[in-house]
Amino acid sequence: MEDQQEQESTGRVRDGRGSSRKGEVCEELRQYMYCIFSNFCFAGYNILSKIYLDKGMSRYVLVAYGHAFGTLATAVFVFLFERNNNSKLSVAILRNVFFLGLLGAVFGRTLFYAGLEYTSPAVASALANLIPSITFILAVLCRMEKLDISKRSSQAKILGTIVAFGGATLMTLYKGLPVLSFHIHDHPAATTSRLLLDKDLIKGSLILVVSYISLSAFYILQTITVKMYPAPITLTSLTCLSGAILSIIMTAILDHKASSWKLSWNIALLAPIYSGVVIFGITVYVQTLAIRKKRSSFHDTV
């Protein structure tokens, strides 16, 4: 009898460990799904933003409208899911929210749109691979990430950082064969791949890199803030509100045309709604969920 009871208790312990292990695996997969979903959303965001900008729309207005729509969308989510939130706002949290708006809207998104005007969605997406490397460097400098060169994981991160910067440099300077060409009488020398110092491409790429540095700092600060204020939807809404206020002030200073604020029932309306609801609302919230479980560098590496 004693042996039988002992075997049953051992079986229960094993079952408990197995179910716990399955739960951890499911939670791990969920974080990766969050990040993959975010990347799909950002792909559409790059294309829509480029179309919007190519129509002569103001990048400052797009930032302002995007964060305004994001504030409205997340405010609805706050009412539905976090209206009983008991977390208190401190001066330190409000300070961080201000800087999140500054890093995300004024520097991050505005410079991103400026760089996108000179390049393309493909270049912007390719250079976005710098964000994990920059975030990793900032995390090490802020002592949020430990770097032990003797460990393989650290060696892999260092190698990935070098490869990312090398790829960004190659993407900026190298122009290969065109996929489709509608010019029949091209000179043979023009069809060979070559290094082309395209001023607009280099200028746009450098602006994109600066915007990605700002967004990497945004992720670092977001990681710190969500630990201080564990209400991700409310924090997302406050960040969008901060970005909206700061970008409206920036637009009033840099773009004095009242016509720039006019929206029509076309791509001019779809772009800010998509950036506001899908990116600044849903995607930033999903990123916050992933960051709560992992480090800021985890989200950027996926």
* 173: CB partners within 8 A, 6+ apart: 195, 196, 197, 202
Q: Which segments of the chain does DSSP mark as H helices, in order?
A: 2-54, 59-81, 91-101, 110-118, 121-127, 130-141, 152-173, 199-228, 232-254, 267-273, 284-293, 296-301
Q: Which residues does residue 195 pair with via DSSP β-bridges, in sequence order?
A: 174
Token pair 């401190």 in the structure block, residue: 90
**Alpha-carbon gap, residue 261 to 126, rounded angstroms:** 31
Of the pLDDT bands very low, low, confident and very high (cuts 50, 70, 90), residue 208 is very high
**Alpha-carbon gap, residue 97 to 225, rounded angstroms:** 8
Whole-number pLDDT of residue 91: 95
Whole-number pLDDT of residue 171: 65
Q: Which of 5-9, 19-23, 266-270 has the lowest mean pLDDT?
A: 5-9
- Mean pLDDT over all residues of the chain? 79
**Alpha-carbon gap, residue 147 to 141, rounded angstroms:** 10
The one-letter amino acid code at 241 reads: L
Mean pLDDT of 200-208: 89
Whole-number pLDDT of residue 286: 76
Higher pLDDT, 115 or 81: 115
Q: Which of 49-58, 136-145, 157-166, 291-300 has the lowest mean pLDDT?
A: 291-300
pLDDT tens per residue, range 38-80: 878 888 888 888 888 888 888 999 999 999 999 998 898 888 8
Whole-number pLDDT of residue 94: 95
* Residue 222 phi, psi (nearest 5): -65, -40
pLDDT tens per residue, range 149-195: 777 777 777 787 787 777 777 766 665 544 434 344 455 444 444 44
Higher pLDDT, 54 or 246: 246
Reported pTM? 0.77
If we measure between CA atoms, which residue out of 287, 297, 288 comes closest to residue 147?
A: 297
**Alpha-carbon gap, residue 237 to 78, rounded angstroms:** 8
**Alpha-carbon gap, residue 129 to 298, rounded angstroms:** 13
**Alpha-carbon gap, residue 116 to 276, rounded angstroms:** 18
Q: What is the DSSP string of 14-37?
A: HHHHHHHHHHHHHHHHHHHHHHHH
pLDDT at 143 over 70: yes
Whole-number pLDDT of residue 128: 86
Among residues of the chain, what percentage have pLDDT more than 70? 75
